[in-house]
Amino acid sequence: TLVSSTPLLQAARANGYAVGAFNVHTLEMLQAVVEAAEEAQAPLILQSTVGTVKHLGAEYIVSAAETAAKRASVPIALHLDHCTEFDLIVQCIRAGYTSVMIDASMFPFQENAAMTKRVVEIARAAGVNVEAELGKVGGVEDDIVVAENEALMADPDECRRFVEMTGVPTLAPAIGTAHGIYKGEPKIDFNRIQAIAGLVDVPLVLHGGSGIPEEQVKRCVSLGMAKMNIATEIRIVFSDAIKAVFAQNPDENDPRKYMVPAKKAVKAAALEKIAMLGSAGRA
Ligand code: 13P
Ligand code: ZN
Ligand code: NA
C-alpha cells in the first residue's frame, strides 16, 4: 500500500541520498518508473501534476499507484505536484494521495505561509506529507509559467522562519534550477543550498531535475536535497520513442506495440536518475 513520503525523505536526508520523484501521465509511464525502482531496489515517489489529475482523474491515478504499491517490494508514495488549489488538495488526499505540494510561491511570504499551514493541518490528520515552495522556480510546469527574469531564489532565513511557522515537513527552496530543459547549464547556487540546509532540518526538494548534469545533482544531494523531481526528460524520451515507431511504420495502430519502446525508454531514464541520486539499494 502507498506510504507517506515523509519517512522516505527523512531517511534520504539523514543518509545522504535522494528519492526520485517522477511525473507520470499514462499507465505505461507509471509502470516504467515502478519497474525501474523495483529493479534498483530504490524507494519511489510517483507524481502527478494538477493537469494530469484533471486529464486522468485522481481515482484512476490512485488505483494504478495502489496496485503498483501492493505488488512492489519497494516503498512507493503518490504525490500531487505544484497544486495551487486548496480544494483539489483535499480531493486528492481523500482519493488516497500520500503526499501533496501546496505551491503558493506566487504569493507574498505571509500568504504562502498561511496557505501552507492550512494544508499542513489537514494533511497531518490524514498522515499525508506536505511540500511547499519558497522563492520561485523558473520555467514551465503545467499552467505555472515563471519567466527567467521572474525566477527568484529562496532566502535562507525566510526558509527557517517558514518551516517554524508552518510545520511543513518538506521544503522546496528555489536555488537556481528551472522546469524544462536548460539552455546551457543551470546556474545552481550551492552556497545557498548549504545555508538553507544549515538552518532547516526538514528534507529539501530539488525541482527542475531534467537536464541537470550528474555532478551537479550529486552536489545538491550531498548538501541536503533529499528528493528530485523529474518531469520533462521522461516525457521527451517517452514521446520520442513513439515518434520513432511511427516514423518507421506510419501504419502502426496497436498501442500494445508502439508503447513498448516508450515504456523501455522511460525505465532506462528513470534507472539513470536513480543511480545519480544514490537511492539504489535503499528500499
Ligand atoms: P523538470 O521538468 O525540469 O524535470 O522539472 C520537474 C519538476 O520540478 C516537477 O515539479
Ligand atoms: Zn517543480
Ligand atoms: Na529542468
Per-domain residue ranges of the chain:
5-277
Q: Smallest Cα–Cα separation from 245: which of 267, 266, 260? A: 260
Ligand found nearest the CA of 181: 3
Give pTM, 2 decimals: 0.98
Atom of ligand 1 nearest to the CA of 233: 4
Rounded to whole angstroms, how far apart are CA atoms 51 and 72?
A: 26
Q: Is 136 in the pocket of ligand 1 (CB under 6 A)?
A: no
**Considering only CA atoms, which of 23, 14, 6 is closest in space to residue 179?**
23
* Pocket flag, ligand 1, residue 79 (CB < 6 Å): no
Known catalytic residues are 81
- pLDDT by residue, tens only, the chain of 283 residues: 999 999 999 999 999 999 999 999 999 999 999 999 999 999 999 999 999 999 999 999 999 999 999 999 999 999 999 999 999 999 999 999 999 999 999 999 999 999 999 999 999 999 999 999 999 999 999 999 999 888 899 999 999 999 999 999 999 999 999 999 999 999 999 999 999 999 999 999 999 999 999 999 999 999 999 999 999 999 999 999 999 999 999 999 999 999 999 999 999 999 999 999 999 999 9
ipTM score: 0.99
Please, which residues have CB within 8 angstroms of residue 249's CB and are 6 or more apart in sequence? none
Tell me, using a 6 A CB cutoff, whether residue 4 lines ligand 1. Answer: no
Q: Could you say which architecture CATH assigns to the domain 5-277?
A: Alpha-Beta Barrel (3.20)
Tell me which residue has its CA closest to atom 5 in ligand 1. Answer: 208
